[in-house]
Amino acid sequence: MKEFPVLTLCGSMRFFEAMLAIARDLTEQGNIVLAPFVKAETPALKTMLDTMHLAKIAMSDAIYVVNINGYVGESTRQEIAYALAQGKMVLYHENQTSCYVKENGKPCQLQADHECKRCHKPICDVHSRDVEGFFVDRRFFYCPDCYERHLNEREDY
């Protein structure tokens, strides 16, 4: 492990004040902290800041998701997916239930937002949208095994 791990804060800018306090605490704990500091005022600035934030994630050892009251917005979900694709660890400020899915033998690490209608295992939004992972049918979420059973039962009628 590095002497000073590099963490990038991810989260909604509505939690900016909390992010500053969290950055201070993480720094005091011996981490190098990268964070968003500018709110986008124009589409061009937003594009540049989004690209810059992905570069911060790429140079980090992990991301630290500021999920106040469990809130994780769409942009933050995309940042989490990017971090996981880059092989980064995902840490959460507030305790959360993780998605049970394993990808390439590693736990998903995303916050579970739903549970399978049948087996009640926790699943995340990212996987529930993944055509090869979880599926939505009649506004219910299924894990791959339960969805397969659901399809087979429908064929029996």
Of 16, 125, 9, 20, the closest CA to residue 73 belongs to: 125
Burial class, 83, CB count within 10 angstroms (exposed 0-12 / middle 13-18 / buried 19+):
buried
**106-124 pLDDT tens trace:** 666 666 666 676 676 677 7
Tokens of 130: 């993944």
- pLDDT category at 65 given cuts 50, 70, 90 is very high
Query: Is the domain of 11 the same as that of 82?
Result: yes
Claim to verify: residue 13 and residue 64 sit in the same structural domain: yes
Read off the pLDDT of residues 122-137 as tens digits, 9 standing for 90 and up. 777 666 643 334 444 4
Full domain range(s) for residue 146: 98-157
Kindly report the CATH number assigned to the domain that includes residue 7.
3.40.50.450
pTM of the shown model = 0.65
Same domain, 82 and 105: no
